[in-house]
Every structure is written in C-alpha cells, then in structure tokens.
Structure 1
Amino acid sequence: MKATWEKIEKNLGVLDVEVDADRVAKALDKAFNKVVKNANVPGFRKGKVPRPIFESRFGVESLYQDAIDILLPEAYGEAVEQTDIFPVDRPEVDIEQFAKGQSFKFKAKVTVKPEVTLGQYKGVEVPAQKAEVSDEELDAELKRLQERHAELVVVEEEPAVNGDIAVIDFEGFVDGEAFEGGKAERHSLELGSNSFIPGFEEQVVGMATGDFKDVEVTFPETYHAENLAGKPAVFKVKLHEIKRKQLPELDDEFAKDVSEFETLAEYKEDLKKQLESRKAEELKGVKENAVVEAAAANAEVEIPQAMIDSEVQNMVRDFDMRLRQQGMNMDMFLSFSGQTQDDLREQMKSDAEKRVLNNLVLEVIAKSENIEVSDEEFEAELVKMAESYRRSAEEIRNILASNGSLDSLKEEIMLRKTIEFLVENSKEVEAPAEEASAE
C-alpha cells in the first residue's frame, strides 16, 4: 500500500492512498461471503449461490460498496500510521478508483493535531503563598462543625426566622386556578436556603405556628415550566411547626463527641493541622494551574474546532455521569435549570478550549524535556487505583485494557509529571503589598 501526506493548511491536509489490487480482490471475496447469505436466486438455497452466477445475475458492482466498507477503515488506519499523522476529526473521503482487478485509490482530507510553538515555560513567576490558617478560619470551621452536629428543637412561641425549618402545607394558584406540582403537605422548608421561588421564603419568615398566609410571588422568566414562566402566583400556606437548630456548646464534651480527643484545646490543635494540610493541597493546585496557564499563554497554537467540540462532548458525558451518581439525569437537570443541551454546550466551550490548549502545550513540553512514564511508575499508578477501588491491580489493568484506556492512563501520568516539572522550575515571588493586604 502507498500513502502520502500533503499539508494544505495549518491543521488540514490530504492523504493520498493506493491499495494493491490483490487486497481489493480479498475485500470483494469478503463482501460476497456477506451478501450471498441473503441472495435470492431461483434454483439455489440462500448462501449456496456460486460466485460466477451471482456476478452474472447482479453484477460484480453490487459488491463494491460492501467491499469498500470493509477495506477503507483498515487502509485509512494503515495510511495514518504510515504517514505518522494524528487525526482529530473524521476524514472527508473521496473515492477515486475501485473496481475488480484494479487498485483502490482514495483521498482523505484530514484535520490533524496542531503544531505548538512553545514560548517561555521554565522560570515562570508564581505568587508565594503559605498554608497558614488564621484564628478566624479555625473559628469558621468550628462553627460549621457545630451546625453539622446541631439538634432540631420545636419552637412554640416565637415566629419563624431565617435558618429555621418551617413545616408547611401549601397550594399554588395562577389566575385563580391550581396548577400541577404546586401542592404539598407538611413539607419541611429551610428558610433562607433559596430552594423555593424567589420571594416565597422571605414571606414565610415572621409566621408563627398555626398561621395561614397568602404568599404572592412571580415565577422567573426562565422557569422550566413554560406555562408558569413569568406569571404571578398566590400560594396558600399553613405553618404547622417551626424547628430551630440548637448548636452544641464548644467545650470538652463537644470535642469528645466529634473526635478522639478529650479536650477542646487538643481537638482545635488537630483541626488546625487538618486545615493547614487542606490549604496546602489547595495552594498546590493553584500553583499548578498558574504554571500551566502561563506556559499556555506563552505558546502559539491554532486549535481546530473539532478538538474543542470533542472536548465539549467529553465534558457533557462526564457531567451526565456525575448527575447520575447524584440520582439525577441530564433531562431532569435541563428541566430544572430551564436550559437546553445547546445552552450547556455553549457554557462549556470556553473551559473546553482551555483544556485542549493546556494539554497540547503540556504534551509538547513533555516531548521537549524527554518526560516519559516508566514501567515502575505505571505499575505504581495501577496499584494506587486498585487500593482506591478495592480491587487487584491486575483487575484494573484488564478493565482499562478492555475499554482501550491504558494509553490514556499513561498519558495522564505523563501530563502530571510535566506539571510537576513546571512547578519545580517556576519562581516564587512575593505578592505586591496591595494584593497581600487584600488577601
């Protein structure tokens, strides 16, 4: 087989391919074996029609499309490998010649991975930051823990305030008519959570146990139910019960209840270390993002739209997977948010383009710096994944191999190593006084 590659634009070129006549003959044989199973010829059972009679009755040309479908994918794959290009989109194929006894000629217009011209990527400046935890941050974490371990107590004599759980009946009306989904009994609503229509919770604040009230609101223009969007509504509300969070005292008993420590002082000391460790990890991520974005900003590359579209598709698929893990699906999310899938894709485009750019730049840096993944590093990653999923490393390897993800994992490790390289070769600089004081 002969294959040549000619670039016609920055990321676009043409593969010119010629496949030997003997391979065309073999493809025609396979095509015949496929279609003869369903061929109806008087005097012969299906699948038993001799080749000469089949071709005489239907013409050899009737096999061409099936033979092309068999031969084209493998020939295209071989041509890509032979010319050492990296397609990022489906090719536009033009069949120039296909006939019995002749070679198979076709041209494929292919969008390929773009060339990257690196700028400065070593010695980029990043702000110096320390993983210090202030007294205010420690107090805020303790407050959050208090909230988590709070008890709900029924309030009898006082009106509802933000933060309370109001147990209510409600029924909604638009133009005097009740609407579907606008009624519930003994519904627990946390006031101030903004989980209801804007303006609803604010009007429940101040109600007392046993009160009735007409709550007047207007549905948002972007509300998912088109028949209600933008319309004024009245909800008839009855408040059955008010529950209020009662925070535990911050004392030694609290420390014993929520940790293995005997005193609050010991617990606070350990909690501060946890917060420092968490902040250090966050700052590590900030620094990694900073060096990658600096390297990407200094590089020159023209990204094909196909790569951005493909990354958007990956992001949509990942988002759908996360929704399913939370008990939702894409249709439910789009209904609740009042969006279409096109809206979601449009929102993701900017991040998708940034991801593609960053990965392209990191790949070229890795190549320039000879950053590779050793067998030991790859095995260590498999062991780490195995521990996380509580399976054996061999099982993880087999799963990845079955869905073709082994190379993707190796690429992911290489990108991580490249980011570590950039961090190690960056320069920490003190933030200007104004920025430091703002922080």
Structure 2
Amino acid sequence: MNVTETLNDGLKRAYEITITGAELDAKVDEKLAEAQPEVEMKGFRKGKVPLPLLKKQFGPRLMGEAMQETVDGAMQGHLEESGDRPAMQPEIKMVNEDWKEGDDIVVSMSYEKLPDIPDVDYKKLKLERLVVSPAEAEVDEALGKIAESAQNFATKKGKAAKGDQVVIDFLGKVDGEPFDGGAAEDYPLVLGSDSFIPGFEEQLVGTKAGEEKDVEVSFPEEYQAEHLAGKAAVFECKIKEVKKPVPAEMNDELAKQYGAEDLAALKGQIEEQLKAQYSGAARQVLKRQLLDQLDDLVKFDLPPSLVDAEAGQIAHQLWHEENPDVQGHDHPEIEPTEEHKTLAERRVRLGLLLAELGQKNDVQVSDAEMTQAIMNQARQYPGQERQFFEFIQKNQAAQQQLRAPLFEDKVIDFIFEMAAVEDKDVSKDDLQKAVEALEDED
C-alpha cells in the first residue's frame, strides 16, 4: 500500500492511496480462513470446505468488504501517523473506476484538518462580575404579588364589577326545558374569569345582591356536549352575594401554603430566588466578556467547511425567525451574508478553542448532568416524557445537542477559575441594562 500527498494548502489535505491487488487477495483469503471453520456445504463436513471452493462462491462478496476495510484501515492509519484531525468526514473517491479483480485499487482522500490551537495564558484574563444584592423592597414587592395571587373575596355593597365574585343560583334552559348539568346553587363566579360560556359573565356585571336576571347566551358550535352545541339558552340567575377581591394577609399561615415554615422563611426563599436570578444574568454578562476577550486574543486558521456550514445554519435560523409561519425547508435557497460569515468565524473559532481546552483538561459531562438536562427538556412535552426519553436514548445527534452546551458551560467555568475575576456591586437596573446590551448585540 502506498500513500501519496497530492494537496497541502493551508488546512486542506488530499492524498492518493494505492492498494495492490495482492494485498486485496490476501485480505479476502484472511476473511475466508476466519469463516472456514463455521461453513457447511453439501458434500463436505463442517469446517472442511476447501478454500478455493469457498473463494469461488463467496469471494466476490468478500472482495467488496475487503476493499472497504482496507481503505478504512489505510485512512485511519494515515490519520494516526500524521496526527491530523479532519474537521468533517474525509471524502473518499475511487480513482480507477474501471477496476477489475486482480488490479490495484487507487482511491483519493481529501479533507480539511482541524488547526493547531495556540496555548492561552488564561490567568492573564481580567473579568468583571456584576453583583446585585436583592433590596428589601424587592422582597416585599414579591410578597405582595404572592398575596395578590392568593387573594380572598369580601362581601361588598353595590353593583358587581369585573373582577368581583358573585355567588349565584342558576338554572339553564334550552327551548324552555332544563338540561342536565345546567343548574347549581351558591356557585362562586369571578366576573371576567372566562370560566363560563362566552357572554355569560358580562351580563352579570352591574347586578346587585338579591336581584334576579335572565342571562341569554348561545353555546359555541364546538361545545363538548353535542346536544347543546350551537343552541340558544337562557339561564335564570339569582344573585345571592357580591364580593370584592382583597389581597390575602401576609402571615405565617399564607407562607405555609407556599411550603415555608413561616413568613420569615418565605422571605428567605424569595431572597435566594432573586439572588439566583441575578447571578444567572450576571453570568451571561461575564461569559460574553470572556468570549469577547478570547475572540480578540486568539487567532488561527479555520476550516472553510466548518465556517460555511455554521454560516448557513445561522442564515437559516435567522430567516425562520423572520418568517415564523414557514415550517420545514420549503422555502427559497437562503444565501449567507458576510455578516453571517463573520459571526460564523467567531463561533467556530471559539468552539474549537473551548473544545481543545476541555479535551486537554479532561472536562467531562457526567451521566447525572445529562439526565438532569434530559429531564428539563422533557418537561416541555407534558404527557410525552417517556417518548422523549426513548427518542434521546436512540438518537446520538440529539444527545450531542444536549451535551454540547453543558460541556461549553463547564469549560467556561474552568476558565473562570483560572482568570482574574473581580466582583463589582451594581444595581438591578445596571445589570438589566447589561443584559439588554447583550440581546441587542445578538
């Protein structure tokens, strides 16, 4: 076997591999010898079929396997010897397409190699982490929202308004006859909740306790009870009480409803939640600082195939964001712009740099971290969690899509540990502005 380099241009490499007919025949004979002990053929005992007879019957099929294995072995051997890491799957083509048994086989192999990544002194990176401490007023505001969501209702005088609760007895009739499920007593109905048939609640706005009112509505055409769908109905209503919403009292009892031991514990939980929110937002800003510095600091050649693929993906994604009604790939061909290519170069460069650092330092995504990521993703498909888990287990590409951002974040955290990171106390508004600036850049 002979390997000859035919192209060496930047990261592009091409080779011509020649495998002699004798090598292929030897490979076929080797495969026949391996299979011989298990072969049974009429007129011969198991394992005693002569090799020439086996070769006559099975040789043509085994020749194809031998060719594939020999080419794959030659390619793998070359990559191990040269140390090249192809950016994408190498392209293999048959050169002598008129090949016949006994001839040498000549194939061409071409690929773009991954570049050598320069070492970076991460200890020289200087980063600024924004730190926000939740103010007491923010905690109180959050408590107020909890009390509002847990509101009670208190009796009021006067007319019912939207948002009020009316306690009613009602009897529904279609064509003058009551129907099943159309009656209730002491039913608490919040006006504006849209829990009744369209048009029902609006007609009770302005009523007072003690009044009686006939509410005329029509059931929707797609109503679940087919015998009522589209029918006109009259509900005889008696308003027994009108109540106004009042916030729940903030006390230990309310706190227990939200899983806290008492009000102080609930405040502590809210404060921790706010800290986590601010910390997550601050990490986004810190990560962008880091990536910007690395992008300015590190330069190396990029495989054009990776850049083109990334630019195409960016252009495709942005086009769909601008045309949300178009599903799938049934649309005009999308050509990446120079802006897309510039962004692609940044992403490919930083992706290769982070991948190299993670590999050199044995950064790993644990099974527990992957399981948690899958669980988080599965929650987006309520009722179909099991099917989602099975899909992920069988789909390597889907697993990689989940693993890639976990791996990147772990490498980023690894760099944070080495870099000089200084904390800076800022207000919530300052942090918000920094996050919005990131979104504008994206």
* TM-score, normalised relative to structure 1: 0.52
2:286 corresponding residue in structure 1: 287
Partner of 1:358: 350
Deviation at 1:436, TM superposition (A): 7.9
Q: Is the 8 A contact 1:88 1:113 kept in 2?
A: yes
Partner of 1:138: 139
Aligned CA distance change for structure 1 residues 296 and 364 (closer, same or farther; 3 Å): farther
**Aligned with residue 338 of structure 1, among 300, 316, 325:** 325
Matched, 1:428 2:422: yes
Where do 5+ consecutive residues of structure 2 fail to align? 34-49, 165-190, 202-214, 219-232, 238-242, 376-391, 435-442
1:129 aligns with 2:157: no
SS for the counterpart of 2:72 is helix
1:365 positional shift: 4.5
What letter is aligned with 1:108? M
Contact kept? 1:27, 1:67, Cα under 8 Å: yes
Counterpart residue number, 2:74:
75
The residue matched to 2:194 in structure 1 has which SS? Answer: strand
| Structure 1 residues not aligned, in runs of 5+ | 34-47, 170-184, 189-208, 213-237, 320-332, 391-398
- Describe the shift of the 1:409–1:167 C-alpha distance in structure 2 as closer, same or farther (beyond 3 A): closer
Map of 1:221 onto structure 2: none
Distance 1:146 1:418, change over 3 A: same
Contact preservation (8 Å) 1:296, 1:361 = no
User: For residues 150 and 437 of structure 1, do their structure 2 counterparts lie closer, same or farther at Cα, with a shift above 3 Å needed?
Assistant: closer
Q: After TM superposition, give the deviation of residue 422 of structure 1 in Å.
A: 4.1
Q: Matched residues in 1 for 2:369 and 2:163: separation?
A: 50
Alignment RMSD (CA, Å): 6.2
Deviations 1:157-201 (A, max 9, x none): 43589x9533577xxxxxxxxxxxxxxx8999xxxxxxxxxxxxx
TM-score by length of 2: 0.52
Percentage of matched positions with identical amino acids: 13
State the match for 2:161 in structure 1: 158
The superposition leaves residues 292-311 of structure 1 with CA deviations (integer Å, 9 ceiling, x where unpaired) of: 34213432244445435767
Distance in 2 separating the partners of 1:294 and 1:64: 55
Other structure's SS at 2:94 match: strand
The superposition leaves residues 140-162 of structure 1 with CA deviations (integer Å, 9 ceiling, x where unpaired) of: 53355446646899xx943589x
How big is the shift at 1:12? 1.6
| Alpha-carbon shift at residue 71 of structure 1 (Å) | 3.9
Q: Say whether the 8 Å CA contact 2:199–2:217 is kept in structure 1.
A: no
Which aligned pairs between 1:169-318 and structure 2 lie closer than 5 A? 248-252=247-251, 253-263=253-263, 265-304=264-303, 306-307=305-306
Deviation digits for residues 5-63 of structure 1, max 9, x if unmatched?
Answer: 56533332113323354441255569999xxxxxxxxxxxxxx99578779xxxx9998
Structure 1's 116 and 71: CA in aligned 2 closer, same or farther, altered over 3 A?
same
Are 1:84 and 2:87 an aligned pair? no
Q: Using a 3 Å threshold, how does the CA distance of structure 1 residues 70 and 168 change in structure 2: closer, same or farther? A: farther
Contact 1:30 1:67 in 2 (8 A): no
1:420 is paired with a residue whose SS is helix
Q: Distance in 2 between matches of 1:9 and 1:152?
A: 78
CA displacement 1:292-333 (0-9 Å, x = unmatched): 342134322444454357679999xxx9xxxxxxxxxxxxx9
The residue aligned with 2:11 is 11
Structure 1 29/122 Cα, relative in aligned 2: closer, same or farther at 3 Å? same
**2:70 & 2:262 partners in 1: Cα distance?**
74
Deviations, residues 381-438 of structure 1 (Å, cap 9, x unaligned): 3466679999xxxxxxxx99996989x9799669724642345313437599996896
SS in 1 for 2:161: coil
Q: 1:276 deviation in Å? A: 1.8
Larger Rg: 2
Q: 1:389 to 1:103 in 2, by over 3 A?
A: same
Per the alignment, do residues 105 and 143 of structure 1 end up closer, same or farther by CA in structure 2, a change over 3 Å counting?
farther
Q: Distance in 2 between matches of 1:187 and 1:126?
A: 60
